[in-house]
Every structure is written in structure tokens, then in C-alpha cells.
Chains A and B, each alone.
Chain A
């Protein structure tokens, strides 16, 4: 039948709910990879790839699993690019993906707990565990001579996990965490948190939150009351929205975001701009990579079935082989078809370690003249 030549991939992200403003670009990015492969006509016997979106809501495990269930069992998707938030990702993995033996590559679920979750070899993520980011961030601060900071984190597994790993790495490196306060996303007012943090004091404020959520609220309130004027911004906080909102008010703030020097990063930006969406948002590159990896693995396995290609993902992601950047998927497909090997670098310099997660290189970001500028890589 006509569908025989079509592969469906699920795109499960929180299109509604607390990260609804991040997800459109992430989805667009993943779909861009799929389109690239379809257009190339080189996947297996010229198969086309169709994305099927579903809403993870980011927080509602039940709705997310239902959506995933529908995608797998009724739409017949061959793999899932998603989910986004660690909580729903774990849920979908345990109750849908694993039982049905479908591969899931999350672009953004970064909770350390997912590192050693039982996954029957079906779960991967193109983002590094926050255990790593905490370390990187701590080192960076000590290097910069910021020896005491206050920490606020978004009260979920991501924020808490990151804050924990950062705090222990930072204290171990000789820094002092003056105070820690969680903030709930989407709340109406953060005066209480800022008041407590201001009282704690410190050279800077670490904001382990989301750029489209409570994070800016905290920064705004800190600036307004004069509590802090330097901020430390992990991945969730890096986004164009930050420039729009604060401009040079937060000059001198520093941050980290998964990323590499590689040409990949700028490449995806270009492609995104051409396609008309924001390529700078968090996890946009990771989303592209997640989709691309799945498709390349299919090519390598010569099959679109998860059971067959799951084992190939590590292979295409890591060396040896020819380095593949965004926009070069056609080339990669060809190499694989010809029996060659590829080392997918992609937008985020994917390198899988241990349980199928990204090793993690980070860009060091500095806010200068109201712009987020990359000053180094680590």
C-alpha cells in the first residue's frame, strides 16, 4: 500500500502547559530533520518520514502516556522524539515505550535519575545529565572568582537535580552557597523568594529555572529590588527571550548551555532562521539531533523497527566514522547505505556515553551589551 513507504515518527512535547513556549521551536527543529531526510529520498528505499505530534503537557503523566499510547499503537510511529520534561519522559518510557519496544530519544530530559533508569535499551537522550552541568557550572564560577552565590531553582526534578549537583560540586571546589530557595514556575509573584535570597546575599544568583517560566520573574524582581545584578544561568535560562526582556540590565551575567564549537551549532541556527523558527532556544539543536539519530540508525539497521535499530544508535552517534553536521543528513544516509560509518556530530556535538546519553560539552555564555555571547567552550 501507499503507506509502506512512509515512516512515522512521534514528536511528543509539552505544547500546552508550563513549557509551552519552548516546544514549538523544538518540534519544528525535529521536523526539519525529518523533512531533510524525506526530501533526500535516501532513507532505505526512498522512504518518506512523517512527524506526528502529540502533547506531553510536561506535567500530566496520564495524559502524556495516553498520547504516546495513541502514537505508538494507533498511528504506528516507529520511534519517539521526546518527551521533554523528565517526569513525563520517565512515565512514557516505563508504561508505553518500553512495553511496546519503541525507541525514545529525548532532546531535553536531563534529570540525573534517568541515567540509570531501566530502559531495555530503548531510551536515549541528546542532552547531558544535569550531574555534569552542575560540575561545569561550579568550575566556571570558581574560575571567575565568584566564591559565594545564592541559588534558586525551579521546583521540579530538573531544577532540583541541577541545584543539588551544582551545590555539591561548588562547595567541594571551595565556594559557598549562601542560601537556596526553590521557586514554582508560573506563580504570580516571587517577592518572597527574592527577599529570602537577598537576605542570604552573595556575589551572584544562580537561577536554575526556565527562561519562559519563573526564571525571568526572579531576575526581574532581583533587579528591581537591587538584590542581585549578576546572574548565573544554566541551560534552561539561555534563550533569546532573555535578551529581549533584560537587554543590558544583566550584563556580566554568565551561563552554560549544552553546545560545542562545532560548526553544527551555527549551522542549525542558519537552518532554523531559513525555516522561520527560533534556532537559539534551548534544546532546539538537541531535538534536531534526536530525530536525525533515529533516522540514521534506521538506515544503519536497514529497518525501521525499533528492535532492529535501537542497537545502532550508539554506533551512528559516536566515532569512528565521518563527522556529520546538520543539513548533511543526505550525505550520512548515503555513506551508511554504502556500508560506511558515520560519527554524527549534529547541532550539539552528540557523543553518547554509558546508558545512551550525551556526554555533554557546554558553551560558556556571557551577557555583554545585552547580548548572549559565547566566550568559550568546555
Chain B
């Protein structure tokens, strides 16, 4: 592989984005860059798990969602009414639930295997479950009754939204720890489906527990780390400097905001990239590759495979959590219904594989490129269809049928591009060295 390959490919993406800027608009271009950067962070997280350690995590969407949840929990103002209506009762309920589980685990560990143990476990679990439901359900009902159209949830801590990013990482890491403790013993595709299922569970909770973050009713209007365009537009100083540059204030304000996000995202990406890169090219990375290659042998050579797996699973998930928080911040809203595995889990996987798994640069490239395509295949699809149908007689049934189906060109085009890329570089665009 030539050493010019990576710079060349990044150049290509840059050209594509600049092209968007010149041909479409700079706002579009910047938006693509921003989500591209977030996608790159996600891809970095997945690459950490798959590329470094061979962990097949298809629960990416769950960790992204947790990051999103962290944004609400950190940055939204608390809903005082809801707290007084039943906040403490909910917390008490959750504590009861946790206590039940802990008790059950302790019983399981400390009693001999016997009928009595089974019976005791059953009593603890069933009794605990009903107690939990009783306390918890009451609290939930009270909280959700508080102005359901606008709130109906507990709200967050009201902290600056940037804090939500590390919080997202922490939340995702916590979940990853729990999951890892139970599921990491599984091999490849079995781990995959387990993580897939857990992600579904996380999303199901977020969709249905309205007291937490309004469920499918969505939380909109999240605080932003950058100024609002409308404020900028009414700020005379800003308008003046925009005029100096010869840009109209609306465009200037939208660009300004996007550039702000871009700067923040770039900083995060660079830090994470640096960390990942250092880790990969170190004895730690070597150890991880050894584990990926052959767990039995690595274990015999003194490497604690389970612990390392857990470590890298937590790290990768945390990165995904951070990315999820960044994305929700960029969107300005949390919409649990939109966390679809196709869009978030599998698209991220496409990014990692197309970029070249095991290669951090590849992940970043994959993230930027695939996101660019995901957005731009739509116009491309229309264009392609235009070409195909150009020769057909106007008003022919086939032509109108095809034009009606133009929207489906999006997935089709995406599929074709994916197949072409993988055809010409089957190990990804920037393969692992």
C-alpha cells in the first residue's frame, strides 16, 4: 500500500465536501462535515472494539442513545413539579429494584446449590419485583401526569451541555460494564446478537419510560454550546462584521454556528484519535491484536483476555456514548424513536469496514466518506434516474413509474457504491498495516 493512499483519499473527501460547498452551499457542506465528524468518532469507537480486539458489537445504537439520554439528563432544567410529584418515589423504586437484584446475586453466590436456594431466589425475585412495581409505578404515574404535553418527566440537572459529552461517555461506559460482565464470554456472532438485543432493550426503555426523557414524545429544544442564529442575527456587532465580510447576516449566522460545532467536534475527534493511535501503536495495541488473533494462546501467554475485552468494550462504548451525546447536541433534540439499528448500528459498521478495520485513520475516512454519501446519494439517485430516463418518451408509463420511485434510488445507490468500494479494495480503503 502506497503511503500516498491515505492523504489521497482524504483529499478526495475534502474535494467532495468543497464541491458541495461550491455547487450546493457552504451550509450543506459544513453540516455534512459536522455529522461526518460525529460519525468518525462513532466509527473510532467501533473500530476500537472490532478492529483492535475483534469484539463484534452490533449494539452501537444503544450506546449512542445513552449518550443522547445523557444530554437530556445533564443539560435540561429539572422539572421541579415532577420531582415533588413523584421523583423521590421513582428513585426509591429504582433503589428497591437494584437492592432486589443485589440480594438475589448475593443469595445465589453464598448459598449452596439446593432447593432452598431456588426457593429463596424465587421469593426474593418475585417479591422484589412486585414491591418494585408498586413503588415505582406509583411514582411514574405521578410524574408523567405533570403537564404531559410539555414535560411529564423529571428533567435534567441543568448543567452546561458540554458536560453532557463526558457524561454520555460515562453513562455508556457504565452500561458497557454491565453488559460486558454478562455477555463478553460469547463468541463472535453470538456476542453480536446479544449486543443487538441489549441495544433494543435500551431503546425500548428510552421509548417507553416517559418519566425519564419523555419517551417517544421527544425532548426538544436542548441547550446548545454555541449561540443561537436568531440571537446572532439580532446582534448588531455580528451583523456589522458579517457585512464587512460581505455575507448576509442569516448566512453568516448559520455558518458561524456550524463552524462553532465543527471546532468543538474536531477537538474531540483529534483527542480521541490521538489516544486511539497511541494505544494502537503500543504494546497495549500489540496485546490486543494478539488477543484478537488467538485468544487461547494470548491467555496462555499471561494476558487476561476477559479483563482486556471488558476494558476495550467499555472504552469503545464510551466513545460511542460521547459521539451520541455530540450528535444529540447537534440535533438539539432527543427522539428515541429515531434510533434505528439500520441507520446507527449498521451504517457505522459500514464506515468502519469501508474505511479499513483496525485502522484509525481508516475509520475517520470511512466516517466522513460514508456520511457524505449517505447524504448525497439522494441527489445522486435522482441524477442517475434522470440519465436513465432521459432517453424515454415523456409520459411513458415506465418513465413515470421510475421517476416516482426516485426516492428509492437512495438505498440502491448506497448499496451500489458500497459494493463497488469493497470490490476494489476488499480490505477497506486504508487497510490495517
Contact = CB atoms under 8 A, between A and B. Distances in A.
In the complex, are there CB atoms of A and B closer than 8 Å? yes
Contact of A155 (B207, B343, B410, B411): B207
B229 A67 contact: no
A91 B27 contact: no
A212 interface: no
Contact of B257 (A70, A99, A116, A120): A99
Interface stretch (A52-60, A215-223, A289-297): A52-60
A8 to B, nearest CB: 13
Most chain A beta carbons < 10 A, residue from B23, B25, B35, B218 = B218
Most chain B beta carbons < 10 A, residue from A61, A115, A116, A164 = A61
B338 to A, nearest CB: 5
Given A74-B25, A98-B230, A115-B149, A155 B216 contact: yes
Contacts of A73: 24-28, 251, 254
Given A61-B338, A74-B25, A157-B217, A55 B332 contact: no
B254 A87 contact: no
A328 to B, nearest CB: 27
A99 B253 contact: yes
Given A59-B338, A90-B333, A157 B408 contact: no
Most chain B beta carbons < 10 A, residue from A62, A88, A131 = A62
Interface residues of A, number: 49
A70 B221 contact: no
B142 to A, nearest CB: 15
B34 to A, nearest CB: 10
A347 to B, nearest CB: 22
A94 B340 contact: no
Contacts of A115: 149
A62 B221 CA distance: 15
Which label, helix, strand, loop or mixed, suits the secondary structure of the A interface? helix
Interface in A55-106: 55, 59-63, 65-67, 69-70, 72-75, 86-88, 90-91, 94-95, 98-101
A157 B221 contact: no
B375 A90 contact: no
Contacts of A98: 229-230
Contacts of B374: 63
Contacts of B207: 155
Interface string B331-356: 11101011010010000000000000
Contacts of B408: 15-16
B31 interface: yes
A113 B340 contact: no
A24 interface: yes
Contact of A182 (B208, B228, B332): B208
Contacts of A39: none
Contact of B378 (A54, A94, A131): A54
B98 interface: no
B148 A67 contact: no
Interface in B395-416: 404, 406-408, 410-411
Given A16-B408, A73-B27, A99-B230, A113 B338 contact: no
A99 B331 contact: no
Interface in A133-161: 155-157, 159-161
B24 A74 contact: yes
Given A60-B343, A111-B217, A182-B208, A70 B335 contact: no
Interface string B300-333: 0000000000000000000000000001001111
A335 to B, nearest CB: 32
B18 to A, nearest CB: 13
B215 A65 contact: no
A156 B203 CA distance: 13
Contacts of A95: 330-332
A101 B35 contact: no
Contacts of B216: 155-157, 159-160
A24 B24 CA distance: 25
A91 B330 CA distance: 10
Contacts of B407: 15-16, 20, 53, 55
Interface of B: 20, 23-28, 31-32, 35, 148-150, 207-208, 215-218, 220-221, 228-230, 233, 250-251, 253-254, 257, 327, 330-333, 335, 337-338, 340, 343, 374-375, 378-379, 404, 406-408, 410-411
Leading 9 A-B pairs by shortest Cβ distance: A74-B24, A15-B407, A73-B25, A99-B229, A73-B27, A74-B25, A87-B335, A112-B149, A66-B375
Given A67-B378, A70-B28, A87-B338, 6 more contacts: A16-B407, A55-B410, A61-B333, A62-B35, A91-B332, A117-B221
7 contacts: A16-B410, A59-B340, A69-B25, A70-B28, A73-B251, A95-B332, A99-B253
